[in-house]
Amino acid sequence: MLTEFGKALIFIILGLVFVAGGLLVAKILRPHNPTAEKTLPYECGEDPIGPQWMRFNIRFYVVALIFILFDVELVLLFPWALVYSKLGMFAYVAGALFIVILFLADFYLWAKGDLEWIRPEPNVPRLDQLVDHMPLRVKGATPPAASPVATSE
């Protein structure tokens, strides 16, 4: 009567019932008493610093991409290892080719300089740069009293 898909459907329905039922029972039983400490986002017990919608440094993106490179390699090598004994030389050559191509991808990243962890260069203010910063000032704002040179211009 039931096909394989029918079993999957029952499984999905049961899963939904479990999640919804658990949430519902918890909603009925638990006391509702929020305090400032409880509503804080959990950061390993420390007080959170700054907003949660922060920007990540773009350099982590490169790391993530390289991680994907090797992660995919591992995921595909596990099933390869399982059938290795059955296929023998065929599997060896196929797997070796796969790793060689991945190595080429790694080499490409390396040669293009994408593995360099670029440090931000400190921007030390110098006298000749001060002129460039002038237009950044808000118009109409009173200039600081300590810089009479700027006001005289």
User: In the complex with another protein, which residue's Cβ is closer, 18 or 107?
Assistant: 107
Could you say whether residue 86 binds another protein (CB under 8 A)? no
Cβ at position 60, least distance to another protein in Å: 20
One of 13, 61, 107, 147 touching another protein (CB under 8 A): 107
Could you say whether residue 11 binds another protein (CB under 8 A)? no
User: In the complex with another protein, which residue's Cβ is closer, 77 or 91?
Assistant: 91
Structure tokens at 60: 């982590």
User: In the complex with another protein, which residue's Cβ is closer, 32 or 112?
Assistant: 112
Could you say whether residue 111 binds another protein (CB under 8 A)? yes
One of 9, 65, 76, 101 touching another protein (CB under 8 A): 101
Could you say whether residue 79 binds another protein (CB under 8 A)? no
> Are the C-beta atoms of 101 and 83 separated by less than 8 Å?
no
User: In the complex with another protein, which residue's Cβ is closer, 67 or 90?
Assistant: 90
Q: Three-class SS string for the chain?
A: CCCHHHHHHHHHHHHHHHHHHHHHHHHHHCCCCCCHHHHCCCECCECCCCCCCCCCCCHHHHHHHHHHHHHHHHHHHHHHHHHHHHHCHHHHHHHHHHHHHHHHHHHHHHHCCCCCCCCCCCCCCCHHHHHHHHHHCCCCCCCCCCCHHHHHC
By the criterion CB under 8 A, which residues form the site for another protein? Answer: 3-5, 89-90, 93-94, 101, 104, 107-108, 111-112
